[in-house]
Amino acid sequence: MPSPLEHAQQALSEGQSRLIDDYRPDYHLAPVAGWMNDPNGVVFFRGEYHVFYQHHPFDAKWGPMYWGHAKSADLVHWQHLPIALAPGDDFDRHGCFSGSAVVCGDTLALIYTGHTWLGEVGDERFIRQVQCLATSVDGIQFIKHGAVIEDAPQETIMHFRDPKVWQEDGHWYLIAGARLGDKPLLPLYRSIDLHTWEFLDYVSSGNEGDGYMWECPDLFRLNGRDVLLYSPQGMQPEGYERLNKYQTGYRIGRLDNEWHFTGGPFIELDNGHDFYAAQTLEAADGRRLVWAWLDMWESPMPSQAHHWCGMLGLPRELELQGDRLGVFPARELTALRQAPLPSIAPWGEPGSRWVPQVQGDRLEIHVHLDLLGCTEGHLGIALRCSADEQEQTLLYYDASLQRLVLDRSRSGAQVSGQRSVSIEPTQTQLHLRVFLDRSSIEVFEENGRFSFSSRLYPRPDSLGVKLLANGTGGRVAIPKAWPLDSGWL
């Protein structure tokens, strides 16, 4: 009789034989087959980066959660490893839910939520969630140690998950998400050995309008300030903000000696359609890196018909910029660049212009928008354009709104909608880095002020690029562009 892990690996092999690659990314993390969602544990262990993720190997839809596993020596080239965790014990019978990974001496430790349905599967009124520990000496095979936090801080809390663990001042600390009725809470624990934990207090809790559950909390220090990163469920849209079903964002402030966090307003970390459950890692050189799920619950997922679903966004660097976080693609990603493509000189004639020198589905493109004199209309680029112009993804400055817009209304199968960020009236130049990878777009402002992350599902032959200028004034240029290599070993 095969073990649960062997059974899961066999399912992956069978699923891989049925894959269709039209939408599969070439340099982003995606599952071998089946389903992927949250990054679970991101950790640097014995000279390599390890990323674990929520995984259902038997189907391209969410199901009982396993922990998928991949590693990289350089943040660029990745290798799939055997599945790390499988559900089935009394404490995680129906799922090894999200958590984190830490290095304890010579051991790699996974701290995760064991999930059990107490009644009918899917009935969230009757669940049990406990925090569990598993360890490995080789970083591949893990031994479960069962539940190390059996009970939530209050008996009436059922939703209690997503432990993030870090070490500071000789102690281990653990922050988790919890829900009491419709009130979100963030309990904090402390340990000296990862096995026995004491509850300290609630770091923070939500008020009206803050949602009902804060998933995947992360608490870290950056340049002397404390940053609380979390993914709220239940916040309502307001204007151009919080348009996704759920969000990922942060508050910058201070954790006091009584374990209470006070800080500024909630700010979304990414302004695209698909970005959730972010988790950070302090790299060996001190940088704060972050990964997120490049999808969104209840969004179209056409790749499910291709026997896989889900991918992670590019690793990003976070920097403190006053009372906000700056977001940049990890500097290592320049290693993906192949021979540069021709630059495209500034252009601002009314209409659109094909750029045959720059085309493809795996590209890094630098886009320069000169907004001087742009007082009406749109100025920008169209990507993943089909020859018949029925498919295209638009990235443009809207002069009347004074916003940069990512428009998916013609981006291929099933997706739609716009996302945008405000551009200051005094800003006359916009420098953008755009990453395309088969079924995704990620846009970064050069100075880290914002990013867009969204899924696209165009036809494989929709590869064209156009410049757009249908208003008054302004010019658009592509000073640099590269085809990108595969990130898989």
Cβ–Cβ < 8 Å for 68, 83: yes
How many Å apart are CA 263 and CA 253, to the nearest integer? 4
Q: Is 361 a catalytic residue?
A: no
Residue owning tokens 């963030």? 186
| DSSP bridge partners of 279 | 291
Q: Yes or no: say if 57 and 45 are a contact pair by the CB < 8 Å rule.
A: no
Give the three-state DSSP class for 182. coil
Residue 160, helix vs strand vs coil = strand
Catalytic residue among 21, 26, 38, 370: 38
Strand partners, 14: none
User: Which residue matches tokens 């890196």?
Assistant: 289
Q: Report the C-alpha gap between 224 and 422 in whole angstroms.
A: 28
Sole residue written with tokens 């893990």: 142
Q: Which residues contact 172 (CB under 8 A, 6 or more apart)?
A: 102, 165, 166, 190, 191, 192, 193, 194
Within 10 A of 446 (CB to CB), how many other CB atoms are there? Answer: 14
Q: Is 401 helix (H, G, I), strand (E, B) or coil?
A: coil
**Nearest Cα to Cα of residue 324 among 368, 263, 279:** 263
Strands 308-309 and 34-45: parallel
Count CB-CB contacts under 10 A for residue 157.
17
Q: Do 19 and 306 contact (CB within 8 A), yes or no?
A: yes
- Residue 479, both tokens: 């000073």
Give the catalytic positions in this structure.
Answer: 38
